[in-house]
Homo-oligomer: A and B are copies of this chain.
């Protein structure tokens, strides 16, 4: 038996019109890869029965499994059920068990059930209802000419639960896949993608030759530059052990300066953890980022036990009156050092980070992209400057992750 493959079909005119980006197919594709299932095609088709039918027939012809996503809702536009019945050459009949389940959901919400929802209880004769049903739209499964078709609703949380708990285990069992695939993501900052690739070239070549793991890079803006190690194996314990030893090899090559987390944590989460361990409070003073640094830190639940706050000093007089910055050019070493000292004292914070710079597009004092950053740890202020060749949004994002990474390194070394 050759390797079996699965393809994904997304149904919905709104997907073709670009009103909604089809993130469902991408997520299913990722899950198939992690489940060890090959996948060669993904198709989007509008709410047209003839075209949906042609796409499904072709998919069943060239792949062993097909997951069709969307078009299972209660309205007349939801055609997937009808088309599957046609492809099967079967009638649609009302499934009384489903009527009860759907009615119970509406009863449980104290809402009368719209009669439209009864459409969702129609099942082609010979098809099965998926046992996992998180919402009011049932998933379907049908074997057609020896191939298996799964239909799931387009609502992401309903779709994901069905795929994860029902469809993937089913495909793996039918395809005889017993191996498992796991990834570990190391996050880095301070080295370009090509720089990382160069440092890891020898190890990547060794893996190409000897197998065991694969390494991939993913630039992720303010989230850092990710290094993903992927391992395929027969048992959870085997895969875990290979992943961990490969992560050690990669980290010994790249060094801890570059790697800020081994478990896909954000830089903000890492800093909050370091502060918590050391019982330190954190303050921020920001100009060009305008609140982005504070916003990122506070996006993490529980940040309030470490984070005191941020002085967003966008105007010169706020820098002077609130932070005590002297009357000097705002984008300068002296200014950023005064800002970080001001953040510590005004916010009563043990450590602090500060940034000032020109985000563009119209520079006020300095060339666009010029940024000064400072950190204060143990009362010692350090500062440095970067000239970013980017647009406004990336200048703000890269400044945020850069100053936080500097703060991390100082916390790790000096405290």
A interface list, Cβ under 8 A from B: 15-23, 25-31, 33, 39-46, 48, 51, 55, 58, 216, 218, 281, 284, 286, 288-299, 301-304, 307-315, 317-318, 321-322, 346-348, 359-362, 364, 392-393, 396
Contact = CB atoms under 8 A, between A and B. Distances in A.
B33 A18 contact: yes
A301 B396 CA distance: 12
A315 B44 CA distance: 48
Nearest to A346: B322
A407 to B, nearest CB: 16
**How many copies, total?**
2
A291 B310 contact: yes
B44 A16 contact: no
A390 to B, nearest CB: 13
Contact of A23 (B16, B21, B314): B21
Contacts of A318: 308-309, 347-348
Contact of A309 (B31, B312, B392): B312
22 contacts: A15-B42, A16-B33, A16-B39, A18-B26, A18-B33, A19-B218, A21-B21, A21-B22, A40-B51, A41-B55, A42-B43, A43-B44, A284-B312, A290-B303, A291-B294, A291-B296, A292-B295, A294-B294, A299-B392, A309-B314, A310-B312, A310-B314
B348 A317 contact: yes
Contacts of A315: 281, 304, 307-309, 347
Contact of A314 (B17, B303, B360): B303
B16 A29 contact: yes
B360 A347 contact: no
Nearest to A228: B19
A291 B42 CA distance: 40
A218 B17 CA distance: 13
Contacts of A33: 16-18
A26 B30 contact: no
A310 B15 CA distance: 39
Contacts of A22: 21-22, 25-26
Contacts of A393: 299
Nearest to A290: B298
Contacts of A347: 315, 318, 322
Nearest to A315: B308
Residue of A21, A288, A291, A294 most packed against chain B (CB within 10 A): A291
B41 A301 contact: no
A171 to B, nearest CB: 16
Given A294-B291, A301-B360, A322-B322, A40 B45 contact: yes
Contacts of A218: 19
A5 to B, nearest CB: 11
A40 B46 contact: yes
Contacts of A46: 40
B44 A41 contact: yes
A30 B55 contact: no
Contact of A301 (B18, B30, B392): B392
Nearest to A314: B309
A364 B41 CA distance: 49
Nearest to A23: B21
